[in-house]
Amino acid sequence: MEALREAWHLFQGGRYFEAHEVLEEAWRKAKGEKRRFFQGLILLAAALHQAQTGRGGLRNLRKAEGKLLGLPSPYLGLDWRPLLEEARRRLGA
């Protein structure tokens, strides 16, 4: 899935806001578990963006965990667990 690959590269480059934007389009089109997955990644991107700009992010991190935990990693070819661990580390969670 192209949106996921693009978002992954943006995450890797610390461009969390842009990753959020790319994932939002895929989220709108998705259904069921896939929609939950994309929403979790969007919340994770928001948490990391907030942490990057010094505006917290813990609330979005917790919401992301609620969406992502219970899904396999990798999911749709994306190993999302390292992203979650990085967010936890950055936010001191």
pLDDT at 5: 92
Is the distance from CB of 7 to CB of 40 less than 8 angstroms? no
Task: Please state the pTM of the whole predicted model.
Answer: 0.93
Return the closest-CA partner of residue 8 out of 28, 22, 26, 27: 22
Q: How far is CA 2 from the centre of its chain?
A: 15
Give pLDDT < 70 ranges for the chain: none
Helix ranges restricted to H, 13-31: 16-29
CATH of the domain at 29: 1.10.3450.10
Is the distance from CB of 58 to CB of 47 less than 8 angstroms? yes
pLDDT at 93: 82
Residue 82 domain boundaries: 2-91
Q: Kindly calculate the radius of gyration of the chain based on its CA atoms and give it in whole angstroms.
A: 12
How many domains is the chain built from?
1
